[in-house]
Structure 1
Amino acid sequence: MNAVHHDHGAEPRLGDKLQRLLPKLMLSPTFLAALFFLYGFIVWTFWLSLTRSTLLPNNVFVGLAQYRYLFGNGIWWTSLINLGVFGALYIGLSMAIGLFLAILLDQRVRAEGLFRAIYLYPMALSLIVTGVAWKWMLNPGLGVQQLMRDLGFTHFTFNWLIDPQMAIYTLVIAGVWQSSGFVMALFLAGLRSIDDSVIKAAMIDGASLPRIYWSVIIPSLRPTFFSALILLTGLAIKSFDLIMAMTGGGPGFATYLPANFMYDFAFQRGQIAMGAASAVMMLAAVAVLIGPIVFLESRRKSDV
């Protein structure tokens, strides 16, 4: 009887073990695929950046020579400067416009669902489609400039797309148009999650609505700002499709970003090692910019 009782007691324990093991078994193929195709290729890219690879991979180790060539290349520095201008304006304007639209929709306006769909629609388009559409609209011979001249404003000029000094701002316009609706959705979700009792208490104390938003509601959106900043920073650094569709990096190198540099040197000029070095530096830039934000946010949560 004791033996039988022991067998029956072992079966649930075996079943519990299988139940705990089953999710891991189901997720293991995905985990292994991500480990190989994501982190494996990151390691391989880093190795290529330390070699003499040109048109084909070459395992001759040259240390940090490619990085010295990279930072001695004027085109690379131009791409970094362009990224600084584009990234700062793209991130700042997307967050500002997204927050403004979210605050407007938070007033429980009529047809809120329609407005949300309109604002979110650009995010449903691919960056290639967005780039081509804005290229047509900003083309001096087809778009806004030609439309205004056809309407009688014969001296109207809007040729930013072909102006080396202004072309980078056309990318900002298209990028902000694409992303601000998505940022709006993030902020609107954050606004709707704030406890109404906090707002009512501020109103009882006599605070005006703008004051409530500035002093109470917006500071409460810190986690949402954090999420939006991480997403937009990643999108800015790896921007490629939009640039290729709108300007191809031109005129000249006016809209040439690090992603264009990596593609150009790795696949067009046959300098795989140089392209790999630039890709590694892009990954490092993401880590340097986002890492401290993640660290500070996690510290703040742990202190709370």
Structure 2
Amino acid sequence: MNSRSWLQELLPKLVLAPSFFIILIFVYGFIAYTGLLSLTDSKMLPSYNFVGLENYSKLWALPHWWRAISNLAIFASLYIIICSVIGLFLAIMLDQKIRGEGFLRPIYLYPMALSFIVTGTAWKWFLDPGIGLEHTMQVWGWESFHFNWIKDRNYAIYCVVIAAVWQSSGFIMAMFLAGLRGVDNEIIKAAQIDGASTFTTYRRIIIPMMRPVFLSAFVVLAHLAIKAYDLVVALTGGGPGQATEVPATFMYSYTFTRNQMGIGASSAIIMLAMIFSIIIPYLYAEIRGGKR
């Protein structure tokens, strides 16, 4: 091997090496460090007195943690289902080659370009009974109109769902639209020749062929739901009370506010396990499908 070909082979490795080591240290290294702290009695500062799984047993005995888990279950299930339904509906509408498609797609995708902090702040103003929707409707003369979910402990979590669905539905629409455009037109034409209606074609042929897209959308939405933090903080701050607390905000509060670093680290590891439980089966299915 001459020096030129040797340099061409080595150069990409040299370029990628700094990024690789930075990711290795600041991502996987700190994940390992968090796992270590979850096994210690760390409080305000890190401590290396090992207590085994004691923090995990304390964590699962906390009503605060169970509240965060139940809120995550409500938020994630509604978020995934509603985003998928709206995204699929919008994708099917755009797939009809309607006039103005090039104008509508950016409009639907625009919310995803915003940060969750901006989305949370905007929806906080919109849903605030004193300055938002309720106040506006009453000023316009509909004085009996009330919409104070963001102040109600029983309904505040659904405000988080509304804001999250508004931001992510356009992105899911783009995923479904790409899947629809990837379906072989010959299959659709054959169904039409056989007399299948448009509804039947989508229900029996096109949508079943999009199972990989549905799986990808589920993985993306589930991942966003589990690590939801900035949207909740900007929109409700976890309140009123603990009505919208989720595992990510629980982890922050116990680590940096209540000075229970060991318990906060154990909650972070459980969140990581939740994400792994979604990602690993997805990767397995992708690798298995690739081999086939």
Q: For the superposition of Structure 1 and Structure 2, which TM-score range results when normalised by the shorter chain?
A: over 0.9
Query: For residues 223-234 of structure 1, what are the structure 2 equivalents within 5 Å?
Result: 223-234=212-223
> In the comparison of the two structures, how many residue pairs are matched?
292
User: What amino acid sits opposite 1:82 in the alignment?
Assistant: N
Offset at 1:147?
Answer: 1.6
Offset at 1:23?
Answer: 1.7
Off by >4 Å, runs of 4+ in structure 1: none
Distance 1:202 1:276 in 2: 55
The aligned residue for residue 198 of structure 2 is 209
Q: Does 1:166 find its partner at 2:155?
A: yes
Q: Does 1:298 find its partner at 2:277?
A: no
Distance 2:131 2:40 in 1: 47
User: What amino acid sits opposite 1:294 in the alignment?
Assistant: L
Offset at 1:297?
Answer: 4.4
User: What amino acid sits opposite 1:236 in the alignment?
Assistant: A
User: What amino acid sits opposite 1:247 in the alignment?
Assistant: T
Residues 262-293 of structure 1 show CA distances to partners (whole Å, capped at 9, x for unaligned) of 00010111111111110000001111233234
Distance 1:295 1:254 in 2: 36
The aligned residue for residue 167 of structure 2 is 178
Distance 1:21 1:289 in 2: 36
Q: Does 1:222 find its partner at 2:211?
A: yes
The aligned residue for residue 23 of structure 2 is 34
- Any gaps of 5 or more consecutive residues in structure 2? none
SS of equivalent residue, structure 2 residue 75 = helix
Offset at 1:16?
Answer: 3.1
Offset at 1:121?
Answer: 0.8
SS of equivalent residue, structure 1 residue 93 = helix
The aligned residue for residue 92 of structure 1 is 81
Offset at 1:301?
Answer: 4.3
Query: For residues 1-304 of structure 1, what are the structure 2 equivalents within 5 Å?
Result: 11=2, 14-302=3-291, 304=292
Question: TM-score, normalised to structure 1's length?
Answer: 0.93
Distance 2:192 2:10 in 1: 53
Question: TM-score, normalised to structure 2's length?
Answer: 0.96
Distance 1:84 1:114 in 2: 36
SS of equivalent residue, structure 1 residue 30 = helix
Distance 2:288 2:60 in 1: 34
- Any gaps of 5 or more consecutive residues in structure 1? 1-9
Distance 1:210 1:143 in 2: 39
SS of equivalent residue, structure 2 residue 97 = coil
Distance 2:148 2:168 in 1: 24
Distance 2:78 2:283 in 1: 22
Offset at 1:19?
Answer: 2.3
Identity of aligned residues (%): 53
User: What amino acid sits opposite 1:179 in the alignment?
Assistant: S
